[in-house]
Structure 1
Amino acid sequence: MPAGQDFPAFPYAPYGVQQDFMQSLYSCLQEGGIGLFESPTGTGKTLSLLCSVLQWLQDANNAAAADVPQGDLMPANEAEPDWMRQQATEHVQQANACRAAKQILLDMTQKRAESHFGRRHRPSAKSPHQGAVDSGDVCGDPDDENFLLDDAGGQASMRSLLNNSDASSSDSDTAQESVPPSRKRIQVFFCSRTHSQLSQVMAEVGRTPFKESLSFVPLGSRKALCINAGVQKLGTVARMNERCLELQKPKAKKRDSTGDRKQTSKSSPGCPYLKASSKRAQQLKEEMLKEVLDVEDLAARGQQHRSCPYYATRHALPEADVVLLPYSSLTTQASREAVGINLQGAVVIVDEAHNLVDAVGSAHSAQVSLSQLQASEAQLAAYLTHFRQRLSPSNTQQLNILVLVVTLLAKVLLKPAAAQQSRLDSTAAASSTCSIQLLNHFLFEHGLDNINMFRIVRFMKESKLLFKVSGHYEHQLTKAARCPAPFSTQTPQVCIPDEEGSGLSALHATVAFIGALTDDAADGRILIDLQQGTLKYLLLNPAAHFAQVVEETHALVLASGTLSPLPLLQRQLFPHHPLSRLHTFTCGHVVPASRLLLLPLPCGPTGLGLDLRHATRSRPGMMDELGRLLMNICQAVPQGVVAFAPSFAYIAQLHQHWQASGLWDRLSAKKVTFVEPRTAAAVATCLQEYSAAALATAAPPASGWAGQSGALLLCVVGGRLSEGINFGDGLGRAVVMLGLPFPNPMDIELKEHMRYLDGLSATPATSSEAQVSARSQQTAGQQYYEELCMKAVNQCIGRVIRHQNDWAAVLLADARWSQSVDSHGRGSSSLLNQLPAWMLPHLADFGPLPPLGCPLLVRPARDARREAAILFNSPTQTYLDVPARFCRDMALTRGLSVQNKTSSPAKDSAKSSVETGLKLFSDGKFRDALQYFESAMQAGPSDDEARAALYNSACAHAKLKQWQPATDAVRKAVNDYQLRLTVAIKDADLEQLRETREWLDALDTMRGGLSSRSVAGLRAEAKAPFRLARILTFQGLFAGAAIGLVISSTRLFAALTGQAGAPDTIETARNFGINLVGAVLLAFLLRRDLTSQSKDRRTVEREEAFARLQVSIGDRVLP
């Protein structure tokens, strides 16, 4: 394995994680086997992949060249004598000459055979009856020869032999689907999901010196590479493939009265780009091997040379060092054979491999509808009727069996559907119409068990049935439209509506489903949906179809930004390779620890636990709490906030409830709000508008964004915005997971997957001892269910942090995230352990919940993240213009607020002084930093800049143990520049200062700490404007009643004791009673108002506390 300096192709000085990644990958390629590499997006994963793999390939080629036998050409730098190299060259030239002579003799023999058979008189292959039909046909069937099935079984008929001979003699340039045999060399197959991603890979290659020393060939479909306008306009890949193959076929020979074929011109119709001269085709191939071209470049070069780039890539494939292809071309054996890929001893790199399992599963699953089966049955019956007299006996027999199979499959859906028509359309009835069967049980129950499906599939492949029958179908429709009357009198006119508008689509779905019936019975199930009228083959074991790739390759590397959870990937693709035996590598991010926050939120702002299970998440109180949480986050987080919900239905429910409660208007007042649309066409527009609002790159629309700061985007887990979208920088300063996106446990396919995994083994697949012990109570199916959820979560939270200078927060809103958090605040649950390993070091510590709020709102910030509190000191600030330089280091956000773009030079000078001081402070140069902070105060600072300068100078004084200057700076920032006292109380840098006598004495003089009660009292009275007047009135009346009660009680005592001059006893007693009742009533009313006043005051103080603690969101969220 090379040392760090042995990756000279890397265009920059690599980060440590990049160096480790390349070395680990190089070691994996040296040893061979399976490698799982997880590198976060933004760490240069693709470039690291290329530099390591291509360095290994170049080293391997050099090592192989050093071991070349004497009989082969020797490399130029070998030390052998000239006569030995000359002799080796002569041997090779002689061998090439012998091969050329043999080819010439073979061609001459073939031409003589063609000439002999061409002059031979042969009886017509048509029956007399068929000949009558043709002679009476107005339009004629000159192209019927092209639609005849090839003879299956290994031996072609004389007709096929002659047609093939004519093809080779009349059109030597016609391309074949097969490609030349691959030479013995090491090849790298670099796969990604789409052509656009592969184009980005090619661009990365262009930045390395390997573009000069290695050859690269991109493989693409006809849709991407075909330059024939007539074929391109067909649209779908299936129709383009069909038309391309038709253009390669020789034009059918017309027969004269003797039965011999008439000679046709060599200029018969065909693809002009495929018939391009060999010189032009060779030139295109050489340019492809010498330059680094992506698919779009290759199509343009094909247009320039007027030569087919699709087949040029096939012919250049054996000579390429690196082949780039979408991994849909890798997932099935048929696609690999069609392209000409030989994986024996090769290296396969799969980038963006998190979708590989789904790609394998979808490629080998198959679904067919009742309408497609009926259309296929009609097409096959019409074809059999038309060609019955001209098909070979074996083809006729197999075609009849195929029609029977299609008929029986249609009956599976047809008969029960008719029986269900009389039933009411209820939920119970609908659920009863969907069932799953084992493959063998399905075949036996529906009368297909006595049919050799393997022979049917082989017959369809060897006879090219798919293209011939569908081609004949469309040809007959075209012919019927041109001359319907003669055609309809002899042959049934087939006019069957097709879901895709092509005869190929229905037949293709039918053929694919029949092919799936040949799979191992244990690897899949048949899903019968009578309500939808579909049959679906559900692949449960993708490893069975991926095993050939694993076995043939020298090394297989799966790489992605998020492969976690790895046990799920291992169990689905490599069940016979324990995870401990695989080469796994997970690196951290290049982003500093202060730029990312991972924080579970078990409760909302009011302390209500976030129970977001399906049964409770729709409660009004729970939806209100989610709305309040988003409001707090939007208040604290600048620019873009992206929130993911489990489904479109739940987002619609939240939207409707928040609109009714007014929360939606309050959210919209803080940020421009967007909801992910359901249609693909509207997603691009929504994303564009969100980007403009989040980054403020466009003028406010007519509706106005006044008072709004940034944007909020509500997305759906598993939707179009949850994967492959870059929410870097200001597009995603926070990503919020609203709940856990567990799939529907009642889904019949999911239940079957879980049942299948439970049946494989009594114990779950192991990954590591820690995970096994934590999840020992779960079955394999339960683990799969949980891992599906975590896979979706990991994709969503991976949308943020796209490069080293980015920063963001990941907030996990659900009580289930904290259910297994230990007493030290560390996550020990299986959910947290299945998050990407590079994110776990950024998991924030939090302990037991206090009486009010949740950890996000009440815990003081740790490390540099607490410093963002000063950035959010003013709740009325807007954050659209946060300078990027404030975000280069978390320390830079200490005390710095947003400045208007039109700031004066003096303010810029103060701001730059604060920035310089912060850099020095972060480096530990407190005295130097202090000078810059003091300089900022003398440069005419704004209030925000003065607050930042004073507070940071206090921190610098505290570091130097200068307590009195530190206290004075804090006091001035609080009293003169509205710094929140809670910021200083929470700051760890001022911890020692807060224990000094100077600080305790200064607390009484800080207005920020004394004014809260009076302000809270005023706000409490504002809620009940007449209550204070009532209280004062009641107090006066109560005082009068109390005085009257004392006087009347004295007089009553005198009357009862018979003292001289005593008043009348009855009247005195009546007065006493009135005063007593009045005093009690007034005391009750006064107590009621005082209690209400106290309650309102506590409420206001609580809200005021939350308003201040809300700053802690920014403290934890923003760097």
Structure 2
Amino acid sequence: MEEIIHQVEGIDFHHPYTPYDVQEQFMNTAYEVLQRGEGQVGILESPTGTGKSLSLICAALTWLRNHKRSKYETSVIEAAQEFKDEPDWIVDQMLKRKREEILKQWEEREARLRKIRAQEKAIEERGSKRRRLEEGNARNSKKTDNSDDDDDEWLLDEGQDKDSSQDGDDTSGFSKETRVLMNKLGLGSLKTTEENEDISDNDIKFISELRRPTFPASLPDSLLSGNSSTEPEGIKHLPLSSRQRLCINPAVSRLGSLPAINDRCTELQQSKSKDRCQFVPNADNVSLTYKFRDSALATLPDIEDLFELGKKLHVCPYYASRTAVPGAEIITLPYPLLLQKTARDALGIKLEGNVVIIDEAHNIMDAVANVYASEISLNELKRARQMLGVYVKKFGKKLKGENRVMVAQVAKVVDGLRVWLEGAAEMKSDQGIVDPNTLLRSKGIDQINMYKLIQYIQDSKLAYKIEGYVAKAESEGESDVSSTIRSTPILHGLLSFLVSLNNLSSEGRIFYHKVSKDDIKLSYLLLSPTHAFSSIASSARAVILAGGTMSPFEDYTAHLFPGLAQNKITTLSCGHVIPSSNLCVWTLSSPRPKSDTKSMEFEFSFQKRSDKSMIYELGTAILNICTVVPDGVVIFFPSYGYLDEVVSVWSEAIAGQPKTLWEKLQTKKAVLRETKGGSSDEVLAQYSEAILGENKPSSQATTNRNGALLLSVVGGKMSEGINFSDRLGRCVVVVGLPYPNIHSPEWKARIEYIESTTLERLKVTCPSTPRSEALIIAKQAARDFYENACMRAVNQSIGRAIRHRNDYAAIVLVDRRFAADRIRTKLPGWIRGGLVEGSENGGLGQMMGKLSVFFRGKKTSLNT
């Protein structure tokens, strides 16, 4: 370890600015993890506003270039070893030839990419890409001609026999050269389950960060000596995404839903298709495919760049991008494509010997669960059955052999699940765990070979064909099509649920949940990400999880890397770049000092939080905070239900008081609140306008209101991804500890799973542990997981405030439990460092004094 640390010290990370100490610490740690390799894991926390993403890029690219230089030098040394018994002049000639070959390949590639970069620089159109993409999608959504012959498009192909189901996508109609190229590009029998990704600015922000630093060439100086090129070697970055974001075929992209796009795309590649996709890479457009590859590697593209490049070259960016994978230094892709081995294989991504870096990794365990989650509701099953009926009525006489049998089996499965849910709707409990054996016995669907049925649905594109035909029939207003039938991918949802049902393991459970009086749903939940993440953890050279709020760390080591030796895990919690004087953290345990024996305590546990007197005291504390804190104050409550309850109490009239507490708050600041299912953008715009707007409404001009108060919910839309920087977040208040509902079936199942797996692990690692002691350890492990889930949500909310070096804010933690050492250790290091010592004993009066001094000092320094 000491030797590695010594190697890391003094490295030039090529940071475009003078890095802060915490950035140096972060880059050194990340580099050390990558340098050690051999299954190393780094869990790194650096607060938002500390340049974490740029530091990751600088550390990773510096290591990668150094690693490549070392490999080149090693290859030359190995070449010399082959001729160690030959005369020196022969060895010298062979080494010279080897160096020249390496240099020539490097120079040719870099010259080619430089030429493309020069061309692209002259025709940049980045500012109008989004608008063109949206206009293109609008044009693609036009209706196509509907004739009776077109109905054959939705008819199931004949010969869905064993051979076709085993072979997957049929490529027999293509030439040998095309089949070789298609296999190279990942076109063929490999199947991948892709999930829809929200289109966000994250990839664009990453690209902008990637463009800041420059790095030396990946060739060692000994090979570059005398080379006339002085231009630094460009970074080769490739973003990958789903067909939904990259498809340029209007006949496919207009379908809208990702499952339908996937099915139609693969169908248009089959030899039986009368309209093969003209954009798919093949032997005829291989030169355009390689031009796409070089352009992608030359220009640091984002997803929209690849889409536009594919349109320009008339080649599919989804498939053509795979030719760029071997030459890329950085590949970015969404969670679903990374977390599933089938998806990685289809994209040609190999983790062995490579590094996996997950930024914003605080939600990685939830992301794993979401990738493997699925659900189907009673109303959806009813619509699915109706769709099947409409389809069979149209094509029933044309269905033969296996098609007829399999469509009947799908109907039987739908009926079985529907009957079970109709029975569950009569149960007293609104939610619960489902025994899969009981579920499968409904209508005898346990007699169906589920694996074979799933394969058939995938190979035949049954879901796409049925939903496509029904959507067409509905658009034509056919009288026998119910208006309740929609073109949403219900059957694709059913397929996902059947896959989950077929792959049930000890890590997953099925639940039922009553959605409304008229609907109930089945859902599959992955209880632990361990097995799903294991293919990444065991394959990659190194894994780095980085985020602004990774604390507490224990869950990542226990559930993502449970079998990894401690000496292979490196954790780091960086401080903030702000000076300590810019942060004030106060634990408000009670309205009055602890020395006041009559003082009540703030404890917003489920059992005590409905105490009206405590809710009123909370409102009084917030009213006082709004008096001394300028501009924006954000309050985070445990749940939407509790926020409604609090507002209701604050709105009640008090004898002898001319105004309610709610009205008093509105005289201090403009009060806005987040609502479940409401528009967060609209609320945030109103909140920002109240604080930053130059032209305030006349109703505000006549008051003494100073800024705005935003009432939000931990885990809601305001608690993640929104920056309350500067005036928007001068104070963040967290009310209570937002523990999940431990009595819900999902959390009962999680707790039970953690306890049982902990006991099993103890039997293997510590077989001499007494049963009673093992039970205590298992229960504590479950308790820690439960508590950590709560604290991750708290930490994510707290992180909304301080966003850059010159920012400042106060953080108030309202609950006596925040004073417990067990809870405080789960706060990020920079928050713990800002805690006012003894604040938990001070009460509201002392807090007000501290806040007044804090903000007066900031006002004075700004005036100065």
**Mean Cα deviation higher: 460-469 or 195-204:** 460-469
Checking the alignment, whether the CA contact within 8 Å between 2:589 and 2:601 is kept in structure 1 is: yes
Q: Secondary structure at the match of 1:575?
A: coil
CA distance in 1, matches of 2:832, 2:841: 21
The answer on 1:698 being equivalent to 2:699 is no
CA distance in 2, matches of 1:270, 1:179: 15
**Mean Cα deviation higher: 725-734 or 697-706:** 697-706
Amino acid paired to 2:261: M
Q: Deviations over 1:407-427 (max 9, x none)?
A: 32222113454xx3xxxxxxx
TM-score normalised by structure 2 residue count: 0.78
CA distance in 1, matches of 2:610, 2:761: 34
The equivalent position to 1:31 in structure 2, one of 13, 31, 36, is 36
Q: Secondary structure at the match of 1:67?
A: helix
1:1053-1092 correspondence runs (5 A)? none
Checking the alignment, whether the CA contact within 8 Å between 1:37 and 1:560 is kept in structure 2 is: yes
Aligned to 1:207: 212
Q: Secondary structure at the match of 2:49?
A: coil
CA distance in 2, matches of 1:572, 1:563: 14
Q: Secondary structure at the match of 1:799?
A: coil
The answer on 1:812 being equivalent to 2:790 is no
CA distance in 1, matches of 2:504, 2:331: 32
CA distance in 1, matches of 2:30, 2:46: 12
The answer on 1:362 being equivalent to 2:359 is no
CA distance in 2, matches of 1:679, 1:43: 32
1:248-263 correspondence runs (5 A)? 248=269
Aligned to 2:185: 179
Aligned to 1:728: 725
The answer on 1:784 being equivalent to 2:771 is no
Checking the alignment, whether the CA contact within 8 Å between 2:578 and 2:806 is kept in structure 1 is: yes
Q: Which runs of 5+ in 1 are unaligned?
A: 93-137, 182-191, 254-267, 421-428, 766-771, 821-827, 872-881, 888-898, 900-914, 916-1119
| Structure exhibiting the larger radius of gyration computed from Cα positions | 1
**CA positional deviation for 1:642:** 0.8
Amino acid paired to 2:790: C
**Mean Cα deviation higher: 553-562 or 457-466:** 457-466
Amino acid paired to 1:31: R
CA distance in 2, matches of 1:68, 1:571: 39
The equivalent position to 1:634 in structure 2, one of 626, 647, 653, is 626
Checking the alignment, whether the CA contact within 8 Å between 2:13 and 2:59 is kept in structure 1 is: no
1:566-581 correspondence runs (5 A)? 566-577=553-564, 581=568
Q: Which runs of 5+ in 2 are unaligned?
A: 83-90, 106-146, 188-196, 216-231, 594-598, 654-659, 763-772
1:173–1:54 CA distance, 2 compared to 1 (3 A): same
Checking the alignment, whether the CA contact within 8 Å between 1:284 and 1:305 is kept in structure 2 is: yes
The equivalent position to 1:842 in structure 2, one of 834, 838, 841, is 834
Aligned to 1:856: 847
Amino acid paired to 1:288: A
TM-score normalised by structure 1 residue count: 0.61
Aligned to 2:676: 678
CA distance in 2, matches of 1:36, 1:716: 27
CA distance in 2, matches of 1:578, 1:441: 41
Aligned to 2:500: 516
CA distance in 2, matches of 1:280, 1:445: 54
Q: Secondary structure at the match of 2:185?
A: coil
Amino acid paired to 1:328: P
1:847–1:584 CA distance, 2 compared to 1 (3 A): closer
**CA positional deviation for 1:683:** 1.6
**Mean Cα deviation higher: 203-212 or 355-364:** 203-212
CA distance in 1, matches of 2:673, 2:732: 15
The answer on 1:235 being equivalent to 2:253 is no
**CA positional deviation for 1:794:** 0.7
**CA positional deviation for 1:156:** 7.9
Checking the alignment, whether the CA contact within 8 Å between 1:195 and 1:220 is kept in structure 2 is: no
CA distance in 2, matches of 1:468, 1:338: 24
Checking the alignment, whether the CA contact within 8 Å between 2:755 and 2:778 is kept in structure 1 is: no
Q: Deviations over 1:41-83 (max 9, x none)?
A: 11110011011111111122222223348999x9xxx975588
**CA positional deviation for 1:497:** 3.7
Aligned to 1:410: 418
1:86–1:143 CA distance, 2 compared to 1 (3 A): farther
1:145–1:456 CA distance, 2 compared to 1 (3 A): closer
CA distance in 1, matches of 2:431, 2:294: 56
Q: Deviations over 1:271-324 (max 9, x none)?
A: 569799554443333211111111223333344444433333233223322111
The equivalent position to 1:148 in structure 2, one of 152, 157, 182, is 157
The equivalent position to 2:321 in structure 1, one of 308, 313, 316, is 313
**CA positional deviation for 1:448:** 4.6
**CA positional deviation for 1:168:** 5.0
Aligned to 2:25: 20
Checking the alignment, whether the CA contact within 8 Å between 2:420 and 2:439 is kept in structure 1 is: no
**CA positional deviation for 1:391:** 7.0
Checking the alignment, whether the CA contact within 8 Å between 1:738 and 1:812 is kept in structure 2 is: yes
Aligned to 1:287: 295
Aligned to 1:644: 636
Aligned to 1:944: none
CA distance in 2, matches of 1:53, 1:252: 45
Q: Deviations over 1:390-439 (max 9, x none)?
A: 7785665555544433332222113454xx3xxxxxxxx541x5331344
Aligned to 1:741: 738
**CA positional deviation for 1:736:** 0.4
1:739–1:456 CA distance, 2 compared to 1 (3 A): same
Checking the alignment, whether the CA contact within 8 Å between 2:156 and 2:399 is kept in structure 1 is: no
Aligned to 1:561: 548
Amino acid paired to 2:666: S
Question: Comparing both chains, which one has the higher relative contact order based on Cα–Cα distances under 8 Å and sequence gaps of 6 or more?
Answer: 2
Q: Deviations over 1:801-854 (max 9, x none)?
A: 111111111110012223x3xxxxxxx2x111111123212221117847x756
Note the aligned Cα RMSD (angstroms).
4.1
The equivalent position to 1:617 in structure 2, one of 609, 612, 616, is 609
Aligned to 1:582: 569
1:151–1:216 CA distance, 2 compared to 1 (3 A): same
1:446–1:838 CA distance, 2 compared to 1 (3 A): farther
Q: Deviations over 1:1083-1105 (max 9, x none)?
A: xxxxxxxxxxxxxxxxxxxxxxx
Q: Secondary structure at the match of 2:718?
A: coil
The equivalent position to 2:651 in structure 1, one of 659, 664, 672, is 659
Checking the alignment, whether the CA contact within 8 Å between 2:50 and 2:576 is kept in structure 1 is: yes
Aligned to 1:326: 334
Aligned to 1:59: 66
Checking the alignment, whether the CA contact within 8 Å between 2:378 and 2:422 is kept in structure 1 is: yes
CA distance in 2, matches of 1:596, 1:646: 24
Amino acid paired to 1:39: S
Q: Deviations over 1:1061-1111 (max 9, x none)?
A: xxxxxxxxxxxxxxxxxxxxxxxxxxxxxxxxxxxxxxxxxxxxxxxxxxx
CA distance in 2, matches of 1:788, 1:194: 27
**CA positional deviation for 1:735:** 0.5
CA distance in 1, matches of 2:503, 2:566: 27
Aligned to 1:437: 434
1:103-142 correspondence runs (5 A)? 139-140=148-149
Q: Secondary structure at the match of 1:319?
A: coil
CA distance in 1, matches of 2:272, 2:163: 24
1:853–1:536 CA distance, 2 compared to 1 (3 A): closer
Q: Deviations over 1:733-761 (max 9, x none)?
A: 11001111112232221122112222222
The equivalent position to 2:539 in structure 1, one of 537, 548, 552, is 552
Q: Secondary structure at the match of 1:810?
A: strand
Amino acid paired to 2:664: R
Q: Deviations over 1:653-686 (max 9, x none)?
A: 3223323342222222222221123345x32122
Q: Secondary structure at the match of 1:703?
A: helix
